[in-house]
């Protein structure tokens, strides 16, 4: 025989009814031919499931194993933090050494490029110092040879095939000169053994580097700011985009939405 | 040891038993349970900044459950190719099919004091996972419906109906195997 309050038997057994509801249900139990045997059966089942037979205790070594995992995590976090600090300090030193070489608008440009390279390094898996060092070296090499853009052009039909051939990446390319973001050229950077394409835009006195590479691992959508530089990373069409600039945040946002608007 | 680590240990280590018990009943296997618990603690530690002082036990157990599910997904992905197409009975079909080998090999189960308890453990281990997990959380961890709902990320009504179904299935199998007595 069914009873429409059967579900309350479980709630009652589990102490989920408030006092009033429990009292009311006890009155019902006294007279219901369905609910009271069900309650008895459930109590029997609960007794059979006695915790001391069924509770699985962890092996003696597990706690220590967990703590060791946490130790390793602490060590890795500390190492990542140290290498970040080291990288930023060395960037500061490198910039100080090179500063006298640079002048005017070129300063902003070079700073943005360096910051971009560095942020890029920090995002890559491993974040290791060797990688960051190789980025800085590559960047400084390019500065010495006045390597700001490899291909000075605002013609996307010219940049696209060149970048596809050089960096194996074929992003959609747009000039936003009419909106204040003028495409001035493209560059190929080396990151470890990987070639990445860089589209270079000028916005007033600021330069925006738009790094593009094939999606190959996690690079979650993110924004970060550091030492006056801002970066936004996102993914679209199997590519990872990373815009870096010293322009103010609203202007970077405007640029990013222009690019993303063109992509979507 | 820094403050964050100290706080994490103080809040989360007391629930190691609960984490392991849940992992064992989910994986039904000693080695997998070890891995799940270690993964879960590491994940919990990494996302500890997102812990806002709510109850630590359900928070941790939800992570244990997620670790188990992603490990199972990974395992499925590796063996998915040679299997036949999905028969549409849902993700628990293999677990519901019968007595899992791992439950039989389980040394603790073998050490069970009574045959009846061992048999019941086997029946519980053979329940589909969605029913097994609510029953384990309720009977062995004595969590409230609300806490269980937060762990399985479902409404309380779902907890209630699964719990009722789980108990009905367990009773049914048990009666079938042992008659009306104990
Ligand atoms: Zn009734």
- Going from N- to C-terminal start, the domains of chain A cover 8-49, 81-124, 127-263
Per DSSP bridges, beta strands A194-203 and A229-236 are unpaired
What CATH number did the domain enclosing B19 receive?
Answer: 1.10.1740.10
Q: What is the DSSP string of A105-120?
A: HHHHHHHHHHHHHHHH
State the pLDDT at residue A58: 95
Tell whether the model's pLDDT for residue A202 goes beyond 60.
yes
| Cα-only R_g, chain A | 31
- The CATH architecture annotation of domain A127-263 reads 2-Layer Sandwich (3.30)
Q: Which among A142, A134, A156 is positioned nearest to A212, based on CA atoms?
A: A156
Instruction: Look at B54 and A192; give whichever has higher pLDDT.
Output: B54
3-state secondary structure of A2: coil
Interface contact A56-B25, CB threshold 8 A: yes
Residue B64 forms part of a structural domain: yes
Q: Residue B27 and residue B32: Cα distance in Å, rounded?
A: 6
State the pLDDT at residue A207: 80
Q: What is the DSSP string of A129-157?
A: HHHHHHHHHHHHHHHHTT-S-SEE---HH
Tell whether the model's pLDDT for residue A54 goes beyond 70.
yes
Span A95-131, pLDDT tens digits: 444 444 444 445 555 566 666 666 655 554 444 344 4
Which residue range is the domain that position B8 belongs to? 1-86
Tell whether the model's pLDDT for residue B132 goes beyond 90.
yes
Residue B8 forms part of a structural domain: yes
Ligand 1 centroid–CA B104 distance in Å is 38
Q: pTM for this structure? A: 0.57
State the pLDDT at residue A167: 78
State the pLDDT at residue A143: 44
Span B70-127, pLDDT tens digits: 888 777 766 544 433 333 333 333 333 333 434 444 555 545 456 777 888 889 999 9
> Does the CB of A57 have a partner CB in chain B at under 8 Å?
yes
Span B135-166, pLDDT tens digits: 999 999 999 999 999 999 999 999 999 999 99
Instruction: Look at B165 and A224; give whichever has higher pLDDT.
Output: B165
Which of A59-68, A139-148, A167-176, B73-82 has the weakest average pLDDT? A139-148
Ligand 1 centroid–CA B165 distance in Å is 17
State the pLDDT at residue A87: 53
Instruction: Copy the structure tokens of residue A234.
Output: 């996102």
Instruction: Copy the structure tokens of residue A121.
Output: 């390094």
Q: What share of chain A is helix, strand, coil (3-state, %, to 5)?
A: 55, 20, 25
Which of A62-66, B93-97, B131-135, B163-167 has the weakest average pLDDT? B93-97
Q: Give the confidence band of A81 by pLDDT, cuts at 50, 70, 90.
A: low
Q: Residue B8 and residue B43: Cα distance in Å, rounded?
A: 12
ipTM surpasses cut 0.90:
no
Q: Residue A98 and residue A109: Cα distance in Å, rounded?
A: 13
Task: Give the N- to C-terminal CA distance of chain B in Å, as an integer.
Answer: 52
Looking at beta carbons, which residues of chain B come within 8 Å of A14? 138, 145, 163
Name beta bridge partners: B43: none
State the pLDDT at residue B19: 98
Instruction: Copy the structure tokens of residue B77.
Output: 């992905």
Q: SS in 3 state form for A230-243?
A: EEEEEEECCEEEEE
Cβ neighbours for B95, distance < 8 A, ≥ 6 positions apart: B126, B127, B128, B129, B132
| Cα-only R_g, chain B | 17
Residue B173 forms part of a structural domain: no
State the pLDDT at residue A223: 61
Q: Give the confidence band of B182 by pLDDT, cuts at 50, 70, 90.
A: very low
How many residues comprise chain A? 264
**Ligand 1 is a single-atom ion; what residues have CB below 5 A from it?**
A 3, 5, 32, 34-35
Residue B138 forms part of a structural domain: no
Span B17-74, pLDDT tens digits: 999 999 999 999 888 999 999 999 998 998 888 788 789 999 999 999 999 998 887 7
> Does the CB of B51 have a partner CB in chain A at under 8 Å?
no
Residue B28 forms part of a structural domain: yes
Instruction: Look at A138 and A52; give whichever has higher pLDDT.
Output: A52
User: Structurally, how many domains does chain B consist of?
Assistant: 1
What is the average pLDDT value for chain A, to the nearest integer? 75
Q: Give mean pLDDT, residues A232-246.
A: 76
Instruction: Look at A112 and A239; give whichever has higher pLDDT.
Output: A239
> Does the CB of B149 have a partner CB in chain A at under 8 Å?
no
Q: Alpha-carbon torsion A111, A114, A117, A119, what sign?
A: negative
Q: Which among B93, B79, B89 is positioned nearest to B127, based on CA atoms?
A: B93
To which residue do tokens 């989360």 refer?
B12
Q: Residue A182 and residue A17: Cα distance in Å, rounded?
A: 68
Q: Are B26 and B133 in contact (CB under 8 A)?
A: yes
Distance from CA of A205 to the nearest CA of B (A): 39
Q: Residue A204 and residue A182: Cα distance in Å, rounded?
A: 9
Tell whether the model's pLDDT for residue A259 goes beyond 70.
yes
Residue B126 forms part of a structural domain: no
Interface contact A51-B139, CB threshold 8 A: yes
Residue B55 forms part of a structural domain: yes
Q: Which among A258, A263, A254, A197 is positioned nearest to A235, based on CA atoms?
A: A263
3-state secondary structure of A18: coil
State the pLDDT at residue A188: 83
Residue B109 forms part of a structural domain: no
Instruction: Copy the structure tokens of residue A110.
Output: 């070079």
H-state helical runs in B49-144: 56-79, 93-96, 101-105, 107-110, 115-126, 129-139
The enclosing H or E element of A39 equals: helix A35-48
Q: Residue A106 and residue A59: Cα distance in Å, rounded?
A: 63
Tell whether the model's pLDDT for residue B134 goes beyond 70.
yes
DSSP summary character for residue A91: H
Could you say which of A7, A16, A54 has the minimum Cβ distance to residue B121? A54
DSSP summary character for residue B85: P
Q: Which among B19, B30, B91 is positioned nearest to B62, based on CA atoms?
A: B19
To which residue do tokens 């849902």 refer?
B90
Name beta bridge partners: A230: A225, A245
């Amino acid at each position: 025989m069914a009873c429409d309050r059967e579900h309350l038997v479980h709630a009652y057994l589990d102490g989920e009814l408030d006092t009033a509801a429990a009292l009311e249900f006890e009155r019902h139990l006294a007279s219901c031919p369905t609910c009271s045997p069900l309650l008895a059966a459930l109590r029997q089942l609960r007794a059979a499931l006695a915790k001391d037979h069924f509770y699985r205790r962890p092996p003696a070594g597990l706690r220590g194993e967990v703590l060791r995992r946490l130790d390793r995590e602490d060590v890795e976090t500390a190492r990542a933090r140290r290498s970040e600090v080291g990288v930023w300090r060395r960037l500061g030193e490198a910039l100080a050494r090179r500063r006298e070489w640079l002048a005017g608008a070129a300063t902003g440009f070079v700073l943005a490029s360096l910051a971009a390279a560095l942020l890029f390094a920090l995002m890559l898996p491993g974040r290791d110092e060797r990688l960051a060092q190789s980025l800085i070296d590559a960047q400084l090499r390019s500065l010495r040879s006045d390597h700001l853009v490899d291909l000075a052009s605002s013609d996307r039909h010219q940049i696209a095939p060149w970048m596809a051939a050089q960096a194996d990446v074929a992003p959609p390319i747009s000039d936003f000169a009419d909106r204040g973001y003028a495409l001035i050229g493209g560059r190929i950077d080396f990151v470890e053994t990987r070639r990445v394409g860089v589209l270079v835009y000028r916005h007033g006195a600021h330069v925006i580097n738009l790094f593009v590479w094939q999606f190959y691992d996690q690079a979650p959508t993110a924004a970060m700011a550091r030492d006056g530089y801002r970066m936004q990373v996102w993914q679209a069409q199997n590519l990872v985009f990373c815009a870096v600039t010293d322009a103010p945040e609203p202007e970077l946002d405007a640029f990013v939405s222009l690019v993303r608007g063109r992509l979507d | 040891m820094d403050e964050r680590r100290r706080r994490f240990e103080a809040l989360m280590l007391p629930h190691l038993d609960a984490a392991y018990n849940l992992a064992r009943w989910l994986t039904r296997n000693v080695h997998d349970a070890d891995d799940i618990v270690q993964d879960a603690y590491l994940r919990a530690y990494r996302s500890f900044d997102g812990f806002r002082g709510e109850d630590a036990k359900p928070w941790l157990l939800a992570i244990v459950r997620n670790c188990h599910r992603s490990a199972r997904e990974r395992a499925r992905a590796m063996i998915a190719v040679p299997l036949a197409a999905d028969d549409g009975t849902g993700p628990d079909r293999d677990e519901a099919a019968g007595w899992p080998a791992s439950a039989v090999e389980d040394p603790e189960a073998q050490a069970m004091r009574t045959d009846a308890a061992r048999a019941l453990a086997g029946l519980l281990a053979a329940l589909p996972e969605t029913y097994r997990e609510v029953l384990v959380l309720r009977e062995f961890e004595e969590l409230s419906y609300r806490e269980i709902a937060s762990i399985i990320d479902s409404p309380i009504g779902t907890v209630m109906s699964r719990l009722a179904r789980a108990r009905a299935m367990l009773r049914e199998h048990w009666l079938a195997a042992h008659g009306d007595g104990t």
